[in-house]
Amino acid sequence: MLALVVYESMFGNSERIARAVAAGLAEHGGVVVQDVATGVPGDIAAGVDLLVAGGPTHAMSMSRTSTRVDAVRQGAGQGNVGRGLREWLAAAPDDLDGLAFTTFDTRVSRARRLPGSAAKGAARALRRRHARLLTLPESFFVGDVAGPLDPDEVERATAWGRKIGTLVEQGAPSTAG
């Protein structure tokens, strides 16, 4: 199995989750981890068995240029104001030919019950490109906009990565249609 884990991160929390998911996946095969600010999605289907895409929830969805500018104003020290997960997905090939994928996001703990999710938006974008949703989108929680991650979220992300790797190895069918 070869997995590609792509992430957007402004404060480092989504990157930590992406790397933890990758650690769990690595128990099942090769993993490439890529920041969407620098990675190019053109060849994602070439030799890749699984795509995991994630980033922060901004204004109940994937970030936009304006919300990334706001994050920088609030002290974000990484990421790219001009390019996030939304733009990376928009540049992906139109037909991913059934490539298995799943998505994750990071969001503020107190917003657990609010509608909207970067992970759900990313899943919709990938399904429009004919990718196959392997597991439902997952949210990981931070204490506040800048973090830190809630206790045990890194461990939960690693376990989630293991579970996804097992599903891929077993040839699991899509979770959602």
Residue 177 domain flag: no
Tell me the three state secondary structure of residue 168: helix
Asked if residue 151 lies in contact with residue 11, where contact means CB atoms within 8 angstroms, the answer is no
Residue 132 domain flag: yes
Look at residue 175 in the predicted model and tell me its pLDDT.
Answer: 60
Look at residue 91 in the predicted model and tell me its pLDDT.
Answer: 92
Tens of pLDDT along 42-87? 667 678 999 999 999 999 999 999 999 999 999 999 988 999 999 9
Q: Residues, the chain, total? A: 177
* Residue keyed to tokens 């974008």: 125
Which pTM does this prediction carry?
Answer: 0.94
Alpha helices in the chain (DSSP H): 13-25, 65-73, 85-90, 118-128, 153-169
User: Residue 51's domain is classified under what CATH number?
Assistant: 3.40.50.360
Asked if residue 142 lies in contact with residue 149, where contact means CB atoms within 8 angstroms, the answer is yes
Q: How far apart are CA 16 and CA 90, in angstroms?
A: 24
Q: Which residues of the chain have pLDDT under 50?
A: 176-177
Residue 176 domain flag: no
Provide the b/e sequence for 136-152 (b: ≥16 CB within 10 Å): ebbbbbbeebbbebbee
- The total number of structural domains in the chain stands at 1
